[in-house]
Amino acid sequence: MQTIRARPAGPAPRAVRDPLVAGLVVLCLVAAAALLAAPPTPYLVNALGQLAAFAILAVSLDLVWGYLGILSLGHGLFFAIGGYVCAMHLLAHGASVTGVLPDFVQFMGWKTLPTYWAGLDLAAYAFVLALALAGLVAFVFGLASFRSRVNGVYFSIISQALVYVAMLLMYRNDTGLGGNNGMTGFPLLFGWPMGSPRVGTGLAVAALLTLAAVLAGTRLLVGGAVGRRMLACRDDEIRLRTLGYSTTRLKLGIWCLSAMIAALAGILYVPQVGIINPRVLAPDLSIEIAVWVAVGGLGRLGGAVIGAVLVNGLKFWLSAAMPEAWPFILSGLVLLVVLVLPNGLLDLAALRPRPIWLRRGR
Amino acid sequence: MSALVVDALTVAFGRFTALDAVSLAVDQGEVRAVIGPNGAGKTTLLDVISGITKPVSGRVMLGDSIDLTKCSEAEIARAGVRRKFQKPSVFPALTVRENIEMGCGPALKARARVARVAAVLDEISLAPRAAVQAGALAHGEKQWLEIGMVLAAEPALLLLDEPVAGLSDAETAQTAALIRDLRRPDRAILVIEHDMAFVEAIADRVTVLHEGRTLYEGSMQGARGDARVIEVFLGR
Amino acid sequence: MPAFAAPLDRAILAGALCGDGAAQVGAAEGLVRAGGDLPADDLAYAGRLLGALVERRLACLPDGALLLAGQNAPEGQDAVTDARRPAAEARAPVLGLRQRAAVETARGVVALLTEGTPAARAAGLAVLERRITIVPAAVLDRARDAESDAALKGTIASLAEAAALSSPDPVRRRAAIAAVAASPSGAAAARLDALKSDPAYRADPAFRVALDAGLAQVRRAVAIGDGLAIVYNGLSFASILFMAAAGLAIIFGLMGVINLAQGEFIMLGAYTTYGVQEAFRRFVPGLLDLYLVAAVPVAFLAVALVGIGVEALVLRHLYRRPLMSLLATWAVSLFLVNLVRVTVGTQNLQFSMPAYVSGGVPVYADFVMTWNRLFAIGFAVATLFLTLLILRRTPLGLDIRAVTQNRDMAACLGLPTRRIDRLAFGLGSGLAGLAGVALCPIYSVNPGMGSGFIVDSFMVVVLGGVGSLIGTLVAAVAVGGANVLIEPISGAVAAKVIVLVGIILFLQRRPKGLFAVRRRR
């Protein structure tokens, strides 16, 4: 939020002025260029790429939570949709090049890939399918919820039930998606062997560039007229409706967009870790996304990125260094942020004064 | 002719009947005040007209053709109905100017909007504060800003829910003057208020609600002389 | 072939056993046939003779038979007169395979009817089981009626039934079918169904009619019994859901906060119960069976205190930010799970099961009313009434309802809303602790148990509506019942999917749930 000062009349000023986001976009571009010019160790490249994917996921949640007041505790579902479709593509692509069926297909005793896998070896089709599927699921669920004015905590726990049910569904072996073990052992990416450093660098660069694009795009969105409507809807939905705006359409549109961005993060994430299984659908993981956003600073896109990088960086480090202590540190961090730093760690940096009205309603 | 006709409107919440076959008609150009003790159903009446609450039975006709009970809040607003809430409802994260722009509604073209916003800012005397975020305004300023937001759409029917609640005497007088200014031949205004002096100053006619029913309809002088009205409301 | 009748002619029996192979078989089979009618001392005598024959201690003389003390003993007792006689001229017959089988069967009959210990009688029964077709019904009936050991009695009865079902006598078979049909169960249906492949089913119309009728009767009864079992399981699942959700609903109605740590509060209730059990084991082992009862107030108070602590330390600051309170209570749940994990361990806790929560009573067909589930149901009903009593008849309940309906007005009337919030949070948490107690005899208790059904109880709160205990009850029965009803048809996962979709569709019509308390905006 901007400090209070007089401004000459003119179009709304909030539009494109967010130095944090601008800085992060530049940082992403610089990092991508650096990776291409002088790639560091594969571990570091991979970590950087994963963090970028998580940051995209956090931005997608901040878009609906921070700007529309809709807390989804089921965003892992959309992330998983992107991830699963991506994994299907990688396996189908591998099978079409090498002629060897994926392990789980052999395990189930099937002779061919299930029919709904048809065409998934085409990357473009898989990409469109992933986004469309995430958008469709979000649309159906969002329409049912927003139309009947399900909101607030109700919406949150129903979205949690959604991801929970999806998890139970994916644990079944007969879905044709690997069941309990999920899908792994991806041989090729666009014909390149998966393990090569070149592919690793390419994936990380792609994730960083996507993050930059997502940040820039969402910033443009929330800085413009739509963004003002989102804030208005977040703070007083009935007021906005009685001014003649269809909030259902607004919420539905942003909700679907957010789901597709989350799917994008899933698409980028899966080839970097080389596996997807139903555990990404665990309700705890979806709550953790909200934790990233809250830690970084709700309602600021840059905050979501910082929170995702910080919490996941800590997790990479601490869950290996002291696995017993990590859950305690995480819960302590959440309580600290929720109770003491209502606007997240950005409060610490004191980048901006904290407006009083941000303390309520969320 | 009538701008708004409420016809045998009944609203129930569970076993509690908030409005019981209430009827009233507001003419074009009229300022109507609805008064009554707490729980009489005044705010419920506004909720139904603005589409927030759906009735059990009855109709609310805007002009000749639109039954508001069949419309969503947004459709009602687009048909030219605007409501000022009892609690000042502005968007705290937006500036005063942006709030008024929102008030213009989604349909107005950008160029027309600039002019309209400027005019409204002048009208509510908040032009110097145009770039301030609404969350930082004082209570009285928020009331005025909300009035500006509902005016920005040039509504044909204006609903005001206790517009002077919590205002000082000077601000109340100022608001009464503003409402008299707002009166136009093509606009009906429906005001809910407790402040009798204020109602007397602005209203052409009053409707007295009591326990969900219409107790009296007519001039303010008549209301003061009506025995039943005195018993349930004025006499206390 | 001699036919034996009471009293047994000992000379004939001894003579037959000393005869050729055919005579031996005849005597043994005659004993089997007559076994049901012979007096116990005759049977015991026959048993001694048969035992001696098998062990080659039966020496045959031209004018009788001798029982020897051991093989090749120089003298023995006359089998009929008991007089001691030399065995020098005697011949001890060797049993052929066929004879040995017949004799063993006859010994089995004797053992089953005369042996003193259940183990020995069971051994006799095991011998009979191999040649059950030649064992007459009278033997088994007599053994069953006389049997004192309950388990063995059951085994004999089912064997008798099986024997009757495969009996060559059509009348006996039909009677057996009717008898099986009279006490229906899934196992009975399977046994009768197996008879359809019997040749008699095609050949004998009377048998076919009897079998079809019996089978239909059993299947109908089994279906009813299974239905009752589903209702019963649904009720017990609903009871657990209700107890888990009641606290959630009260807290949500009052403060707009969904406590994501409610599952962990249930877990704490179960661990408190375990603590009470261990305390009993240590200090008053004689009263161990009462620990579940004693755990009720302890778990309620302990978890209520934890809840009040969480409210005071965390939630108090978050009433205006309900979405943040979701994250905060999630952090609390993460903390509690890992605290228990680190301090107590991840393994399932072992509970001693008092008589009142173990076993059950067979009610109808396969439906057994198990005491542990009845305990949960009774517990939930008691909780419901107590909670209703608190909400409707106590000053605290009145305050809670007032604040739920209109917080500002309640505050204006001078109600201490802060204190009411805290007490209500304690009440809601304590209810979760009670759910933990009720769960101990049914589910496995470990640090992660809370997450198992917490989503279901959220759905109950959403479906039931805010601030109405009756709504919570109806919703718990609906969700629990739907889960249990759909599960046998299309699986547990499909049940969860259908319930969730059903709730979302239901919210299209009633966004505020079944029973919403109307509140001012």
**What would the pLDDT profile of B170-185 be if each residue is shown by its tens digit?**
888 888 888 888 888 8
Give yes or no for residue A291 having a pLDDT over 70: yes
Q: A58-107, pLDDT tens digit by residue?
A: 999 999 999 999 999 999 999 999 999 999 999 888 888 888 888 877 77
Q: Which residues contact A1 (CB under 8 A, 6 or more apart)?
A: A352, A355, A358, B93, B133
Question: Do the chains contact at A4 and B90, CB–CB below 8 Å?
Answer: no
Give C328→chain A minimum CA distance, Å: 6
Q: Does A156 touch chain C (CB under 8 A)?
A: yes
- Residues of A within 8 A of B51 (CB-CB) are 241-242
How far off is chain C from A237, nearest CA to CA, in Å? 13
pLDDT band at A217 (very low <50, low <70, confident <90, very high): very high
Angle among Cα B24, B68, B85 to the nearest 5 degrees reads: 80
pLDDT tens-digit map of B38-87: 777 888 888 899 888 888 888 888 887 888 888 888 889 888 899 988 88
pLDDT tens column, A155-165: 898 899 899 98
Question: What is the full per-residue pLDDT of chain C (521 aa) written as tens digits?
Answer: 455 665 678 888 888 888 888 888 888 888 888 888 888 888 888 888 888 888 888 888 888 888 888 887 888 888 888 888 888 778 888 888 888 888 889 999 888 888 888 888 888 888 888 887 788 888 888 888 888 888 888 888 878 877 777 777 778 778 888 887 877 787 778 877 877 777 777 888 887 888 888 888 888 888 888 888 888 888 888 898 898 888 888 888 878 888 899 999 999 999 999 999 999 989 988 888 888 888 999 999 999 999 999 999 988 888 888 888 899 999 999 999 999 999 988 888 888 888 777 777 777 777 888 888 888 898 899 989 988 888 888 888 888 888 877 777 788 787 887 888 888 889 999 999 999 998 888 888 889 888 877 888 888 888 887 767 888 889 999 888 888 888 777 777 888 888 888 888 888 777 776 666 554 44
Contact list, B153 vs chain A (CB under 8 Å): 243-244
- Give the mutation candidate from B46, B47, B73, B108 for the A interface (greatest A CB count, under 10 A): B73
Q: Could you tell me the CA-to-CA distances from B210 to A30, A336, B18 in Å, in that order?
A: 70, 51, 10
Is a pLDDT exceeding 80 seen at residue A359? no
* β pairing state of C367-370 and C360-364: antiparallel
What sections of C406-519 are H helices per DSSP? 407-412, 417-439, 451-464, 469-509
Best residue of A7, A239, A343 to probe chain B, by most B CBs closer than 10 Å: A239
**How many CB atoms within 10 Å of residue A283?**
23
Q: How far apart are CA B151 and CA B84, in angstroms?
A: 10
The pTM assigned to this predicted structure is: 0.81
* Yes or no, beta carbons of A355 and B105 under 8 Å apart: no
Question: Strand, coil or helix: what is A342?
Answer: coil
Q: Does A50 touch chain C if contact means CB atoms closer than 8 Å?
A: no
* Cβ contacts of A149 on chain C, cutoff 8 Å: 511
Evaluated on CA atoms A315, A321, A324, A329, the torsion sign reads: negative
The set of chains that have 3 or more CB pairs under 8 A with A is B, C
CA distance A64 to A75: 11
Separation CA A228–CA A2 (nearest Å): 14
Smallest CA–CA separation between A150 and chain B, in Å?
Answer: 15
Contacts of C482 in chain A (CB under 8 A): none
CA–CA dist A346, A354 (Å, integer)? 10
Quick check: B135 and B68 in contact, CB under 8 A? no
Measure the CA–CA gap between C27 and C49, rounded to whole angstroms: 11
Q: pLDDT tens for residues A224-262?
A: 889 999 999 998 888 999 898 999 999 999 999 999 999
* Distance (Å, whole) CA A348 – CA A306: 13
Question: Which tokens in the block code for residue B113?
Answer: 């909007």
Q: Specify whether the CB–CB gap between B217 and B208 falls below 8 A.
A: yes
pLDDT at A261: 97
- The whole-angstrom separation of Cα C147 and Cα C376 is 37
CB–CB of A158 and C462 under 8 A?
yes
Say whether A244 and B153 touch across the interface (CB within 8 A): yes
pLDDT of residue A15: 43
Place of tokens 């947004």: B74
Mean pLDDT of all residues belonging to chain A: 85
Tell me which chain C residues have a C-beta less than 8 angstroms from the C-beta of B52.
521
* SS3 state at C335: helix
Query: By 3-state DSSP, what share of chain A in percent is helix, strand and coil, each rounded to 5?
Result: 70, 0, 25
Q: Which residues of B touch A6 (CB under 8 A)?
A: 128, 131
Mean pLDDT (whole number) for B131-138: 88
**CA–CA separation, A213 vs C220, rounded Å?**
66
The three-class DSSP label of residue A184 is strand
Confidence of residue A56 (pLDDT cuts 50, 70, 90): very high
- Please give the Cα distance from C162 to C155 (Å, whole number): 11
A161 shares contact with chain C (CB less than 8 Å): yes
User: What is the pLDDT at residue C467?
Assistant: 66
Q: Please compute the mean of the pLDDT values over residues B151-160 and round it to a whole number.
A: 89
How many Cβ pairs closer than 8 A exist between chain A and B? 94
As a whole number of angstroms, the distance between CA C429 and CA C247 comes to 6
- Both tokens of A296, joined, read 């970084």
Please name the residue that has the structure tokens 């009489």.
B40
> A287 and C330 in contact by Cβ < 8 A?
yes
**Closest-CA residue of chain A to C495:** A165
Residue C23 tokens, joined: 């005579």
